[in-house]
Amino acid sequence: MGWLLSLSSAIIAAIAGCLLAFYIGEKCVTWYRISSFEGGSGYAVVFIAFGGLLAGFGVGLTVSKSFGTGFLHGTGLALATVVAISGVVYLLARLGGDVPPELNGDTLHLQVEMRMAPGWQPSHLAQAGRNYCLLTSLAGNQRRRPRYGTLDFKNATQQDGRWIVPCQVDIHSNRSPLLVGVQLGKRTNLEFVSPLPSQPTAANEQWTAWSATGFSQTQAPGYEYRVRVKRDNVVRAERQAAETAAYENRQRDFAALNDSSPLKAWLPFANSYNSDDISGHAQRYLGTRLPEFETLLADPDPSIVIGALKVLLYHQTPPKTLTPAIIASGRAVLPLIERAKQAKDPDDPDQLAEKHAREFVEIWKSVAEKTNAPTDKVKTEFGVAAANAKQGDMQDLALAMR
């Protein structure tokens, strides 16, 4: 073939190589867990596609010029060679990566329940949500980049005096074995080999029996686990059903309120993160009863006090008659500060109490500032109570009150 026809074939082969490389690049983003941070995964796909463009052009030019007897023949040979090479690259990339298994065409989640050893109690950090679970594949003895899942300690339960902690993580690899890791705070770190096959079947959608084998740690007496898989469409349907049920329950509970209901019963709806008709209605209703908030601001439950302060924060000018009650309500944070300081282990601070205390003070200050009331005396009490606290929210609070 002449150079002009060969160049034409090479351009067509380059376009084909670019498209095939783009497809392979997109797959590699998943298989090799390429991060999208600062566009990393996008740049990787573009780089691979550009490499396919250059390779396609080079292969197309060489094959069509050397073996083509005409434009169609040369172009066909060039395209066939590019497709064959792309197929080999695809297979090699797939073999080297983590390919998510599927069941009935749907991706899978691994659900885990960890039954803690008798006598185990959650640390402060575990209760504050400093937890995670992960799934790690192995290439020989080399750990690959793990997939992190969700572990919400609020979903933990107790049965026969033992804690059962659930977690869920996407199954991102069909390699075997897969390591399942569960960490709660800094004190509990467990890892075991998943007993499920690399290609789960419908039978694996049922819980396995409780097992105490396969732990990486030799010091894990008393801990047990069970696992199962769940298809993504089932997980999504269950999540949607739970959200729908929660909203319907919220509507039902709100509809049960009336003018004779205690004011504190209205607070959760007014301070909900849901910006909908219910929260707006509750805010407007409580706005008509602000002069009655003196009782709420003196409630012995700090959660009721902060709920009332949040409602007052939404309104431009709290009634002047509430000024003394607003100032005094700040002292409701003192038990929270004391609770936070009772955590003596520097590696296990009571971050939940610290967070609540700091949030309380910030909201109280904002409301108090609207009244232009003198708050120095109460602020001094905050500073004294939080003094000598370790690094963290309480130390920041103590410094802010100076």
Please, what CATH class does the domain formed by 257-400 belong to? mainly alpha
What are 45-98's pLDDT values in tens digits?
A: 888 888 888 888 787 777 776 776 677 777 787 888 888 888 888 888 877 777
**How many Cβ atoms from other residues are within 10 Å of residue 54's Cβ?**
13
pLDDT at residue number 214: 87
Tokens of 289: 């009863």
- Sequence length of the chain is 402
Q: How confident is the model at residue 346 (pLDDT cuts 50, 70, 90)?
A: confident
Residue 115 bridge partners (DSSP): 164, 224
Distance of CA 28 to the CA centre of its chain: 23
Q: How confident is the model at residue 235 (pLDDT cuts 50, 70, 90)?
A: very high
Name the 3-class secondary structure at 227: strand
Residue 27 CA to residue 93 CA, distance in Å, equals 9
CA atoms within 13 A on the CB side of 72: 0
Domain 102-236 falls in which CATH fold?
Answer: Immunoglobulin-like (2.60.40)
Ordered DSSP codes for 317-338 = S--GGGHHHHHHHGGGGHHHHH
Average pLDDT of 210-221? 80
Structure pTM? 0.78
Average pLDDT of 27-53? 79
| φ and ψ of 207, to 5 deg | -60, 140
Average pLDDT of 353-358? 88
Domain residue spans of the chain: 3-96, 102-236, 257-400
Helix, strand, coil abundance in the chain, percent, nearest 5: 55, 15, 30
Residue 42 CA to residue 296 CA, distance in Å, equals 53
Could you tell me what percent of the chain has a pLDDT over 70? Answer: 92
Helix (H) or strand (E) holding 179: strand 178-184
